[in-house]
Amino acid sequence: MYLFNSDYLEGAHPLILKALMDTNLIQTPGYGTDDICRAAAEKILAACEKPDSFVHFLVGGTQTNMTVISAFLKPWEGVISADTGHINVHETGAVESTGHKVLALPGSNGKISAGQIEACASAHMADGDREHTVKPAMVYLSQSTELGTLYSLAELTEIHGVCRKYALKLFVDGARLAYALACGENDVTLKDLAHLTDAFYIGGTKCGALFGEALVISSPELSEHFRYMIKQKGGMLAKGRLLGVQFGTLFTDRLYEKVGAHGIRLADRLRAALSENGYRLFAESPTNQLFPIFSARQLEALQKEFSFTLWQKFDDGAAVRICTSWATDEKAVDRLIDMLRELKEQ
Amino acid sequence: MYLFNSDYLEGAHPLILKALMDTNLIQTPGYGTDDICRAAAEKILAACEKPDSFVHFLVGGTQTNMTVISAFLKPWEGVISADTGHINVHETGAVESTGHKVLALPGSNGKISAGQIEACASAHMADGDREHTVKPAMVYLSQSTELGTLYSLAELTEIHGVCRKYALKLFVDGARLAYALACGENDVTLKDLAHLTDAFYIGGTKCGALFGEALVISSPELSEHFRYMIKQKGGMLAKGRLLGVQFGTLFTDRLYEKVGAHGIRLADRLRAALSENGYRLFAESPTNQLFPIFSARQLEALQKEFSFTLWQKFDDGAAVRICTSWATDEKAVDRLIDMLRELKEQ
Amino acid sequence: MYLFNSDYLEGAHPLILKALMDTNLIQTPGYGTDDICRAAAEKILAACEKPDSFVHFLVGGTQTNMTVISAFLKPWEGVISADTGHINVHETGAVESTGHKVLALPGSNGKISAGQIEACASAHMADGDREHTVKPAMVYLSQSTELGTLYSLAELTEIHGVCRKYALKLFVDGARLAYALACGENDVTLKDLAHLTDAFYIGGTKCGALFGEALVISSPELSEHFRYMIKQKGGMLAKGRLLGVQFGTLFTDRLYEKVGAHGIRLADRLRAALSENGYRLFAESPTNQLFPIFSARQLEALQKEFSFTLWQKFDDGAAVRICTSWATDEKAVDRLIDMLRELKEQ
Amino acid sequence: MYLFNSDYLEGAHPLILKALMDTNLIQTPGYGTDDICRAAAEKILAACEKPDSFVHFLVGGTQTNMTVISAFLKPWEGVISADTGHINVHETGAVESTGHKVLALPGSNGKISAGQIEACASAHMADGDREHTVKPAMVYLSQSTELGTLYSLAELTEIHGVCRKYALKLFVDGARLAYALACGENDVTLKDLAHLTDAFYIGGTKCGALFGEALVISSPELSEHFRYMIKQKGGMLAKGRLLGVQFGTLFTDRLYEKVGAHGIRLADRLRAALSENGYRLFAESPTNQLFPIFSARQLEALQKEFSFTLWQKFDDGAAVRICTSWATDEKAVDRLIDMLRELKEQ
């Protein structure tokens, strides 16, 4: 049985494990105040071409989202998100647990537009009773989104403009950023993210690391007390150097790019096979998540050898999610493509 | 320069790293729902001789403390702690950030007594205006404490009795539990903890793992929805199996005992050397934390080769904390003992 | 200029002011523990025909909503509401500020159905990853709703059934309950509310009192520690007897019914005049809130003598809200009806 | 039976009730945006001789404390208070429920000193691991304190200086401010409070009003979004004009001073009688709260005619609290003085 359910099914890229072995008995001070973390942060800022930003390492995505959002917002402020956004649907109310409302806007393929954001912010400002409603003060996007789609540089720039106009902070969740960056359709670079957002993070957990997200904050004001928040919200690893070791490795010899490229190359092969064999898609995505619709007959056959994530059930069959990653075995992809060919509807 | 500052200066015990290597490319479902975690939990419950308890794995200590406390308490309830308790002084108000007051009682060598707890609980119940004050509903202890001291089985049993009498939940922070268990003076076993507490945790971060704490909850009521809380509070690792791998290894062939024994043996050697050479102690502790007082002259000489944690400054010199651990190099201990001998006051 | 903007534009019903005068220098203990409050609570429970329920008095509606919801929910639980529900749109995120997500369902004329609630609860239970999403645990309704509409007894009974099936607590916001009870179309009594809900409140602020809401809780479990929550959330009035005096008066000689009847009688007259003269309505409502659509010409003329709440702007004109209450002056209604007649489109 | 338990046993000063009657049927917009509130705010600022400050009206003291503290602090910040401070002991953890730790310092007669505050703030800044501890960012004082004592102008000025030095906000709870201002020993004026604090409030509940506290905020930055917080925390009264009516009356013809003067004059008579007749005091206080110690014999006799608040039980007798207020009946004071004379120890 081969699992295509997600991009966090295995451990870490072998080079990362090797780095953990090599540094294992080095003594460092705790909580990420060590030289290994400092060096990794410098590599990340160099890759972002923004040396005056600030890097903080956290353990996981939900943790990063709630820590950033609760650190940046005042108590009466809320965060705008697509209704399909991870913070709105898949974090057990972590943002609300810190006291803030998620202002969900209807997404289109997992994305929201500058126009929608502007309408939300300007409606609040025009409300004579505005203190009776939550003040929109931040925008949360994912790149790639929960449906595998991408914001283009033009879209991101326009959203950035609206955020400046209405004093909204812009925060991008990059849990799957390696696959976004490696995607042929993508035109948003690390440099763009570092310059257009108030904060974004470079996902490690789904992109080759055992765990860990590298948060990049643009301004000293937002970064100054951020370590208090990491500690309070439970995200400060005693052996913080583990995050430095992993991200240092990912940003050496372009490993982060290679990790993304492997996942995207195999996803592209699957995407082509699905298309050539006439499979319908539940959602169009250019990155490492695919959402094909299979009939009951097809599903039964495929599930003898493969496992997918059930996305939505239909009367005859279901939409499923197939994920590739840095760890996906090409032979499994070969075999799945063969089966897609055999099982296609006549 | 050799660091004695704390017990989280290195990576993981080599057997744990090996287990991570060996399992690296195995595919498992995420979030700790895999067989590796299940097997590790079973080993832990076997070691606790309490098969009907429930194990949950979390990443770190502050995270575990605030997740347990906020899961178990109602909004108007507070948690009793020694004033020196980790939750009261060293977690950036993590417990308060979840809405609960820490009811700090003056500790004696880091410990509070059954009598103090009873006085606090009964005073609340006797208060005619009791709804104007926070209701004590939980007791937080550390074993070993932040000052390296231990609760005896008699003390713990008495505290357990008071907790039952006043419907207080009893929660024990075992971040340094391996060193408590290995200590010659200790008479509290894993089985005792599992039977006397509502929840306690077996520390991994400071006891041989890269990171991770194994929480043992006694009752199905308290455990039933606990995974919602782990997720919401940011403690649910996508690659949850990493915790299963580590704790599975620690509870195979008594590794957890060996880890503790190494730290305690070296601490005992240092303790003896301090005593034999007439050094005063800031606090008496039988476990892996020592708190000697050094004169300025002694400190200057020692700090050429060793680093300690500054505990309290005095006019001439300071109290420092020396920690040993599973990773402490015996040669460094030999050299430190030599220096203690050379530097002793005439 | 006569104001029809809302139902909280004046002070209190003269009988309530008189009662405050009459009791002014009586000495009572504080915080609602006095005999006046006890007597008022008994009158309310008698009116509800449910003597084993529990009454708590609070100062305002938002305060009552957030206190009840945060008292009844566990940290990982959320509350289902119509998207137009007061807690979702007009309380500055008060519920979220206590850590809970509002699970907003699309309302139909301000109401949600038993079917929608069941779909939401059953989808959660069917989710294999359910701990990644907020657990629906409570239903919030308003009677009358924010759009002036009413739940029928059949609807409320069906919702009650779904709540029992899925262990959802049922909570009804009765800020405008006097007008709901007095409405000709209504078939839900105080007794029904007391027997079908876990808690509901009898609005005072908009129904003749200076301020105050009387919360009725059905079970001793939910009521037992509720005073701790009132205090913590800032809703415990030192001179709690002020609430007892007011509600005691409202529930003497059927004053609460008379208050509602006056508001409804005048609303009915306006409703008839709007209909007879061909005005369109933005929303159909049988209670004390009306939502007519006026052209720019009509609005300009009306606003010379009257003030309304702007509800939604259109290219030519706007929908406005007109409220009547216990205090509405019949002469103002007469004059408004005259103008509606004069200004009608030919 | 005459009650001396507290200063909130009766309704309101007759002039306030009269003003409520006189304005009862005036129509005003809601939520304190009316002209009555505006006029009252202007009177208050005139009395404070600080026209560029901002006035917000809230309903009660606990509500005001938690709203101000949670509005002014960042999530990782805490508030310094005397251990006897109302926020630390008598608000059911309201401050903690908003996520903030109360940093309690040992009080001396209910007061803390500039030196204690400086030691707390400077210790935090000197801590190398400071992000592991709550950042002190605000100081909470009460004038008069919970033990009836007063800060002198010299003390307040010194505390103000420390606050400026360490960027601590200074907030004064004036729930009993009328009695502080009227006290012969007092040298702190409304003007001083307005100029030395970031915010303070003028208590209404205990000083002649039915309810209500008038908060004065010094800076536009702190005031700008404060109404969002009042709404979110449940403190925004729909009929906000009730607060304007009451405070407008209290600040007309020096009523607030007269209210305080009556309470203090009667307290002074009782204080003299206690002293002349050799009664010991549990705490020395110059304001409207007295803390005499009575033997069991004395208590038994006194409690036939009077009720006090039990403060602390002793083997033979108890310390009690006696409060006077604007409403205290001079004849009751006469009688109590007579009994004190009769019951004195020989």
Cβ atoms within 10 A of the Cβ of B272, count? 11
Å from A131 to nearest chain D CA? 4
Q: Which residues of A touch D236 (CB under 8 A)?
A: 131
CB contact under 8 A, A231 and D131: yes
pLDDT at B178: 98
Q: Which residues of C touch B235 (CB under 8 A)?
A: none
| Helix count and strand count (H, E) for chain C | 15, 13
pLDDT at B345: 85
Find the mean pLDDT for residues D113-141: 96
Work out how many CB contacts closer than 8 A connect A with B.
144
pLDDT at A341: 97
Tokens coding C317: 């004109």
Q: pLDDT tens digits, residue range A231-284?
A: 999 999 999 999 999 999 999 999 999 999 999 999 999 999 999 999 999 999
- Give Cα A33 distance to the centre of its chain: 26
Question: With helix as H, strand as E and coil as C, how does chain D read?
Answer: CEECCCCCCCCCCHHHHHHHHHCCCCCCCCCCCCHHHHHHHHHHHHHHCCCCCEEEEECCHHHHHHHHHHHHCCCCEEEEEECCCHHHHCCCCHHHHCCCCEEEECCECCECCHHHHHHHHHHHHHCCCHHHCCEEEEEEEECCCCCCCCCCHHHHHHHHHHHHHCCCEEEEECCCHHHHHHCCCCCCCHHHHHHHCCEEEEECCCCCCCCCEEEEECCHHHHCCHHHHHHHCCCCCCCCHHHHHHHHHHCCCCHHHHHHHHHHHHHHHHHHHHHHCCCCEEECCCCCEEEEEECHHHHHHHCCCEECEEEEEECCEEEEEEECCCCCCHHHHHHHHHHHHHHCCC
Report how far residue D212's alpha carbon sits from residue B148's, in angstroms, rounded to the nearest whole number.
Answer: 51
pLDDT at C128: 83
Best of C70, C97, C105, C133 to mutate (most A CBs within 10 Å, chain A): C97
Written as one letter, the residue type at A227 is R
pLDDT at C345: 84
Find the mean pLDDT for residues A87-91: 97
Torsion of CA B313, B319, B325, B328, to 10 degrees: 90
- Nearest chain C residue to D4 by CA distance is C27
Query: What percent of the residues of chain C are helix, what percent strand, and what percent coil, each to the nearest 5?
Result: 45, 20, 40
Burial class (CB in 10 A: 0-12, 13-18, 19+), B90: middle
Nearest to D100 among B91, B96, B129 (CB): B96
pLDDT at D345: 84
The secondary structure of residue C111, as a DSSP letter, is B
The low-confidence residues of chain C, meaning pLDDT below 50, are none
Q: pLDDT tens digits, residue range B99-154?
A: 999 999 999 999 999 999 999 999 999 988 899 999 999 999 999 999 999 999 99
Please identify among residues 133-172 of chain C the ones whose CB lies closer than 8 Å to any CB of chain A: 133-134
Cβ atoms within 10 A of the Cβ of C313, count? 11
Report how far residue D202's alpha carbon sits from residue D173's, in angstroms, rounded to the nearest whole number.
Answer: 8
Cβ atoms within 10 A of the Cβ of D297, count? 12
Q: pLDDT tens digits, residue range C47-78?
A: 999 999 999 999 999 999 999 999 999 999 99
Q: Which residues of A touch D129 (CB under 8 A)?
A: 31
Q: Which residues of C touch A134 (CB under 8 A)?
A: 92-93, 96
What is the layout of strands, in order, in the sheet containing D281-283?
D281-283, D289-294, D317-323, D309-314
Find the mean pLDDT for residues B203-226: 98
Decide if D3 contacts D323 (C-beta within 8 A): no
Find the mean pLDDT for residues B271-275: 98
Q: Is residue D230 pLDDT above 90, yes or no? A: yes
Q: Quick one: what percent of chain B has pLDDT higher than 90?
A: 98
- Nearest chain C residue to B229 by CA distance is C76
pLDDT at D129: 86
Report how far residue B92's alpha carbon sits from residue B318's, in angstroms, rounded to the nearest whole number.
Answer: 25
Whole-number average pLDDT of chain D? 97
Q: pLDDT tens digits, residue range B23-53?
A: 999 999 999 999 999 999 999 999 999 999 9
Q: Which residues of D touch A127 (CB under 8 A)?
A: none
Instruction: Band the pLDDT of B81: cuts 50, 70, 90.
Output: very high
CB contact under 8 A, D30 and C6: yes
Find the mean pLDDT for residues A171-198: 98
CB contact under 8 A, D90 and B133: yes
Going by C-alpha positions, the residue among A73, C96, C235, C140 that lies closest to residue D236 is C235
Please identify among residues 232-261 of chain C the ones whose CB lies closer than 8 Å to any CB of chain D: 232-239, 242
Residue with tokens 């006019």: B315
pLDDT at D127: 85
Q: pLDDT tens digits, residue range D192-214?
A: 999 999 999 999 999 999 999 99
Q: Which residues of C touch A133 (CB under 8 A)?
A: 89-90, 92
Q: Is residue A127 pLDDT above 90, yes or no? A: no
pLDDT at B233: 98
Q: Quick one: what percent of chain D has pLDDT higher than 70?
A: 100
Whole-number average pLDDT of chain B? 97
Find the mean pLDDT for residues A99-122: 98
Q: Is residue D253 pLDDT above 80, yes or no? A: yes
Question: With helix as H, strand as E and coil as C, how does A288-335 read?
Answer: CEEEEEECHHHHHHHCCCEECEEEEEECCEEEEEEECCCCCCHHHHHH
DSSP code string of C180-222: HHH-TT----HHHHHHH-SEEEEE-TTTTSSS-EEEEE--HHH
Report how far residue C70's alpha carbon sits from residue A151's, in angstroms, rounded to the nearest whole number.
Answer: 38
Tokens coding A125: 């400002």
* Cα separations in angstroms, B238 against A67, A206, A337, C138: 17, 9, 28, 29
* Strand D2-3 versus strand C2-3 pairing type: unpaired
pLDDT at A128: 83
Q: Is residue A346 pLDDT above 80, yes or no? A: no
Q: pLDDT tens digits, residue range B302-331?
A: 999 999 999 999 999 999 999 999 999 999
